[in-house]
Structure 1
């Protein structure tokens, strides 16, 4: 069975996060979006771990569901931790995800962090003074089933490979525990294709999750697991096994369906067949750090320009924020392989790894954004909300609309709330996104990029630092 997982989320106890990021609301939105497994997020926070214990019960080994409800949504115990410390004469700022197999393990890790002087009360994403190597040693000494996954690994300020405060390699960051790092998370400003160019990631899994701060942002990036039986161990097995050659069968880019966890309890446990089937991606150009630039001076440059002109702003003469694309090219010593893609029977463009070391991926635009542009409106308008809800209800969920539903069905159902002509426009928008026929202006220095479906982008305002949005993610 296929399970769509978003395993990097935040609760209402993290900074700049919507109060709607509570477990019941998250589960409600997961069904609307077509997600099966969510991160609890933030289990280091003392109030949130209490709410987790009050509201969730174990459904399958290491996975949880809402108590007293026939909910199909499962939760995995995941938290993001920010480490700020000095190493090699430089201040490092590294963010890591921890996947825990049990609440007991969470509580033991929390107690150990507090014992080392870490403040877990101020933020759901705590800031600690431990190095990445010390953190992984602490976690694995408590429970070797837990996982550490470096997250949004390219963001300049807070990541493994970050140009301003990161490292050049996993070995340099994690030291003697480097071999325990079996996966990384792409972040919004990079996609798997970019990460395939890094040699040390050839034998590691490339994961994608949303880092959402509000329910509507969940699932904008996610990872699809193919599992015989839904358990924490089988998800871990899939992550630890990135090569398609080590799994039975081959990855199909046909109409993949995500199933709920119902009916999986009596299935035999066959971890060897567990694998990552594909990932769903944000357009990396829309990420806040894709290109190099200086937001205050409204100056941006491509990687080619950065190589020839350097990293000093020509306007104010201060250092530019080096973008993700340039940083990837800098660490990809052998240069980039040519991108390989293929359309499936639904007209969806899939990006394939020519070496077959990693599964394929697809880049999508969120459905509410497609509808908003189609109707010349905003994602917060009532007519966009009505059209979105109608499509999700009538055609299954958001991912089903984006990946599988027929164009005619999309047009017909969108017309119910948007009008007949507008329904066809929405369907055309979905079709263009499936084929990758879009226009982009890359983001830079903390400013989101623009992704447009129709070619009127030159007439649009430049994007602002969308601080009013709650998706202040990396």
Structure 2
């Protein structure tokens, strides 16, 4: 058994030929670029790329397999340059007759064969199979059954965000309004929540929580991730970890303090001022974007939850005041990967490379001791440079 760094929600911005996949994703987010960046500079061991259903992305996977740069593993997943495991997946928008509003879900597949089978089925139910996160013309439970019939994993995505999520838009109170609760493999928390907040929902107590980046650029990969103890870096071992079988398990979730998330607090929908009443004190609007904290308070059904892996509030390096691209490059030149800097490099070693004030911020980021201002309405929270 070995511990692995895992981020299972990374988008593809463009195909190898330049065609868009995730419209809002960076042009540098190609499959091969992601695979290379995942190990150096990010330091990840397993990544889930959730736009692999796209026909041109499938073609790029086949090219990498043909060239020998990547191999398909017997227990599922693809191994790139013997250093990073790719778990192929898809993000889908669901809005069937049982939904209160559109919500996003994630599906993951063990093999090229299963991925292609799903892509063919999916293409008959969406407008454009080339693009990411398309709205599917299918009942949510039928979608679950299809993914599971292909030996896949099904996970509701960023379940508390105000827009296009399970609890933010999709249901009044319970996931059973839309989904078969027995066909869910895990719950993705999203950037504005953590384990403690999510466990106020009793129906989530039976599921494993995952914390992923939802990266739309190479820089944002691994802003949230987990450490997972696995018998091997494969699809089947990861699936066992979600079920806590045979010693495979999530050891710890690492993510932003919810204060740093874009949707933690309720804010005015027009000017983004924080909500203190029914009328915005700044612009007079009565339209508000409900924050994650307020929404969880509305649907709380439990005061605490089961014993879970620790959720560690770790601030990504690019959130730190004074740590610009040149300084980050300097750190990476000396220490290799962001995971190494965040987890392993000693204070003494860091002080040999960057100024003491920045070293202090990095150590506080590692220990969850930074001062933060809350985000909301689509704007990230901030790390205070007045420590």
- 1:408-439 CA-to-partner distances (Å, cap 9, x unmatched) read 1111123xxxxxxxx21221111222333322
For the pair 1:108 / 2:122, whether they are aligned, the reply is no
Gaps of 5+ in 2: 14-20, 65-69
Select the residue among 294, 318, 332 that pairs with 1:326.
294
Deviation at 1:122, TM superposition (A): 5.1
C-alpha separation in 1, matches of 2:302 and 2:232: 39
C-alpha separation in 1, matches of 2:104 and 2:54: 16
Alignment of structure 1 residues 63-102 onto 2, 5 Å: 63-66=77-80, 70-87=81-98, 91-102=100-111
For the pair 1:136 / 2:147, whether they are aligned, the reply is no
Partner of 2:317: 367
For the pair 1:226 / 2:174, whether they are aligned, the reply is no
Deviation at 1:296, TM superposition (A): 1.7
C-alpha separation in 2, matches of 1:327 and 1:316: 22
C-alpha separation in 1, matches of 2:42 and 2:163: 30
Select the residue among 260, 263, 266 that pairs with 1:292.
266
Partner of 1:7: 8
The 3 A distance-change label for structure 1 pair 368 and 157 is: closer
Q: Secondary structure at the match of 2:233?
A: coil
Report if aligned partners of 1:44, 1:126 keep a CA contact under 8 Å in 2. no
The 3 A distance-change label for structure 1 pair 333 and 81 is: same
C-alpha separation in 1, matches of 2:291 and 2:378: 10
Q: Secondary structure at the match of 1:288?
A: coil
Larger CA deviation: 312-321 vs 424-433:
312-321
Alignment of structure 1 residues 170-319 onto 2, 5 Å: 170-174=175-179, 177-241=180-244, 272-301=246-275, 309=277, 313=280, 315-319=283-287
Aligned residues between the structures: 372
Q: Secondary structure at the match of 2:173?
A: coil
Gaps of 5+ in 1: 242-270, 338-352, 376-383, 415-422, 456-474
The 3 A distance-change label for structure 1 pair 387 and 59 is: farther
For the pair 1:41 / 2:40, whether they are aligned, the reply is no
The 3 A distance-change label for structure 1 pair 178 and 316 is: same
Partner of 1:435: 367
Report if aligned partners of 2:194, 2:258 keep a CA contact under 8 Å in 1. yes
Partner of 2:34: 26
C-alpha separation in 1, matches of 2:161 and 2:258: 11
C-alpha separation in 2, matches of 1:288 and 1:368: 16
C-alpha separation in 2, matches of 1:183 and 1:426: 37
The 3 A distance-change label for structure 1 pair 405 and 60 is: farther
- 1:334-363 CA-to-partner distances (Å, cap 9, x unmatched) read 44x5xxxxxxxxxxxxxxx8x52x101211
Q: Secondary structure at the match of 2:88?
A: strand
Cα RMSD (Å) of the superposition? 2.1
Report if aligned partners of 1:33, 1:392 keep a CA contact under 8 Å in 2. no
C-alpha separation in 1, matches of 2:220 and 2:299: 30
